[in-house]
Amino acid sequence: MTIKREIEIDYPNCGTNNLMLVWDTINAQLSPEAKTAMLRGEIHVFRCRLCEQTFNVDKSLLYNDMENKFMVWYFPFTWVENGKIFDVINADGRAKGAEYFPEVDYSGRIHYVFDMNELVRHIKFCDVLAEKMRR
């Protein structure tokens, strides 16, 4: 499932209130256009309609590739520092609530990253591995 929504935010440069589209989850097969935008570095990057400055919104993002059976979950590192990470994962590293989705068994295939560039690199890496396996 892909989940996206609009949020209101005051841009840090000029204080203008803007609506922004943010992504909570991206499913590679259901939203290939979102995958493409993410790989280009266009997800959670916004331009103010008034001052035209760009900035990044630092929020979590779960990427799911059902075909290649892997997930990558980006969290801002501040979540680790302030303990918010434990709202969504257990101390053993498993996602909370995973027991409610037994049909999605990627056992150990959820990879956590704390940098959006690393998210992109890990997805590209997994895509290369999947392509190699298909040959």
Q: What is the pLDDT of residue 105?
A: 57
Helix (H) or strand (E) holding 123: helix 116-134
Q: What is the pLDDT of residue 95?
A: 83
> SS3 of 45, please?
strand
Q: What is the pLDDT of residue 79?
A: 96
If you average pLDDT over residues 74-84, what whole number do you get?
Answer: 96
| Backbone region of residue 75 per phi and psi (left: phi > 0; alpha: psi in -120 to 50; beta: other values) | beta
Identity of the amino acid at 132: K
Full-model pTM? 0.86
- Residue 35: which of 25, 21, 48 has the closest Cα? 25
Would you give the end-to-end CA distance of the chain in angstroms? 28
d(CA 18, CA 21): 10
> Over the chain, what is the mean pLDDT?
88
What is the residue extent of each domain of the chain?
3-134
